């Protein structure tokens, strides 16, 4: 079987980590034909008029699966996030970010194995901001019962499917009584009605942060709205060695985009030293997703081969600089390729 997927390298370190990842997939004979598309600054640089070209959205709609590098979002002004726009345009409402300890990457805790599930389409990321009068701005947090219910359903279904035992909802419903209040009520409703056998808890997010850094091994699946999910994903990345190690999937009914949790890392872009592993892990999630969709056991085995190879590389001490090593992006990719069984 051969499959087509869209590749959006992004900008900053995106093209470097995308190149390394594609070389690993190629060496593993992953049966993927890439359709190359642009987004963000890279699209403008190539003469496109839009940050999110219609052709890129159309290609993802057509092929249904994409691997995407990060797209830079300017801070405090300029254009709004292309990453967020893509998720909203394609209604990729569920972000899944698995965070696990890796042998060869020593951190404070050895057995972290949790999954952040983030609502991807609303909350403060609805992008509704106004200067109502000079010196006074509002940012509107949007929560709809429909989106709260569907992300809760998504998280519990994910937990059930992966034999996960507990879902913890992080919220601030003591302060945001209406929006976060609805979020937890919907999660509770879905749990009680359909998934009573999965353990369930609600934690106020500030206390949850303290518990996460004290003992992340007590957590399993974490469910939260958009902004909290963004912040907590980076916190969790820190627990297992950093942003170079956490992959992600943005899933909807009609398409899926796989991308690392990290951003475009402009401070190290163009130097060939970024860690490609988070995107490679995202690509492995993509292969497993396609394999499951098509019942393709051989493709699932290819995904496992790549995962085993990078686990071995880390165990053998092959590391990029973010992990205290000296390997360049391409040297790390070569180390993984050399360990493909």
**Binding mask 230-249 vs ligand ATP (x if CB under 6 A, - otherwise)?**
----x--------xx-----
Considering all CA atoms of the chain, what is the largest pairwise distance in Å, rounded to the nearest integer?
63
Least gap, CB of 121 to ligand ATP (angstroms):
17
**Residue owning tokens 């300890």:** 101
Q: Is 125 a catalytic site residue?
A: yes
Total of residues contacting ligand ATP (CB under 6 A): 17
Collect all residues with Cβ–Cβ distance below 8 Å to 194 and sequence separation of at least 6: 153, 156
Least gap, CB of 40 to ligand ATP (angstroms):
10
The piece of 37-45, 189-197, 209-217, 271-279 that touches ligand ATP (CB under 6 A) is 271-279
Q: Which of 263, 312, 319, 327 binds ligand ATP (CB under 6 A)?
A: 263
Active-site residue identified among 172, 200, 228, 334: 172
Active-site residue identified among 33, 45, 192, 206: 206
Sign of CA dihedral 229, 96, 41, 55: negative
Q: What are phi and psi of 200, to 5 degrees?
A: -140, 135
Q: In DSSP terms, which residues pair with 114 in a beta bridge?
A: 99
Q: Is 11 a catalytic site residue?
A: no
Q: Is 172 a catalytic site residue?
A: yes
Collect all residues with Cβ–Cβ distance below 8 Å to 290 and sequence separation of at least 6: 3, 5, 65, 296, 299
DSSP reduced 3-state for 253: coil
Pairing assessment for the beta strands 65-68 and 94-100 based on DSSP bridges: unpaired
Judged by CB under 6 A, the chain residues 59 through 98 that form the site for ligand ATP are 70, 73
Give the closest residue to 333 by CA, choosing from 272, 243, 247.
272
Active-site residue identified among 11, 64, 68, 125: 125
Q: Which of 265, 281, 285, 318 binds ligand ATP (CB under 6 A)?
A: 265
Q: In DSSP terms, which residues pair with 143 in a beta bridge?
A: none
CB-nearer residue toward ligand ATP: 229 or 263: 263
9 makes contact with ligand ATP (CB under 6 A):
no
Task: Give contact residues for ligand ATP (rule: CB under 6 A).
Answer: 13, 17, 70, 73, 234, 243-244, 262-265, 267-268, 274-275, 278, 322
The residues assigned a catalytic role are: 125, 172, 206, 230
């Amino acid at each position: 079987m051969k499959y087509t997927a869209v590749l959006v390298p992004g900008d900053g370190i995106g093209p470097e980590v995308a190149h390394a990842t594609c070389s690993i997939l190629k060496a593993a004979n992953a049966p993927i034909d890439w359709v190359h598309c642009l987004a963000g600054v890279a699209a403008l640089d190539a003469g496109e008029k839009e940050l999110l070209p219609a052709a890129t959205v159309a290609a993802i709609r057509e092929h249904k699966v994409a691997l995407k590098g990060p797209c830079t979002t300017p801070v405090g002004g300029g254009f709004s996030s292309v990453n967020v726009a893509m998720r909203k345009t394609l209604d990729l409402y569920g972000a899944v970010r698995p965070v696990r300890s890796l042998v060869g990457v020593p951190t404070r805790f050895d057995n972290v194995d949790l999954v952040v599930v983030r609502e991807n389409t609303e909350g403060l990321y609805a992008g509704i901001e106004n200067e109502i009068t000079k010196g006074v701005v509002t940012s509107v947090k949007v929560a709809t019962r429909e989106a709260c219910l569907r992300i809760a359903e998504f998280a519990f279904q994910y937990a059930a499917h992966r034999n996960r035992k507990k879902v913890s909802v992080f919220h601030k419903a003591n302060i945001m009584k209406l929006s976060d209040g609805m979020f937890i009520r919907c999660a509770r409703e879905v749990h009680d009605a359909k998934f009573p056998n999965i353990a369930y808890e609600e934690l106020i997010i500030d206390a949850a942060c303290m518990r996460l850094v004290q003992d992340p091994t007590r957590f399993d699946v974490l469910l939260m709205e958009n902004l909290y999910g963004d912040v907590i994903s980076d916190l969790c990345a820190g627990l297992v060695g950093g942003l170079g190690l956490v992959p992600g999937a943005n899933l909807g009914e009609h398409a899926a985009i796989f991308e690392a949790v990290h951003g475009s890392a402009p401070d190290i872009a163009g130097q060939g030293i970024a860690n490609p592993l988070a995107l490679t892990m995202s690509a492995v999630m993509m292969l497993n997703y396609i394999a499951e969709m098509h019942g393709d056991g051989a493709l699932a085995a290819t995904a496992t081969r790549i995962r085993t190879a990078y686990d071995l590389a880390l165990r053998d001490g092959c590391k990029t600089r973010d992990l205290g090593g000296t390997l360049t992006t391409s040297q790390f990719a070569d180390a993984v390729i050399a360990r493909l069984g």
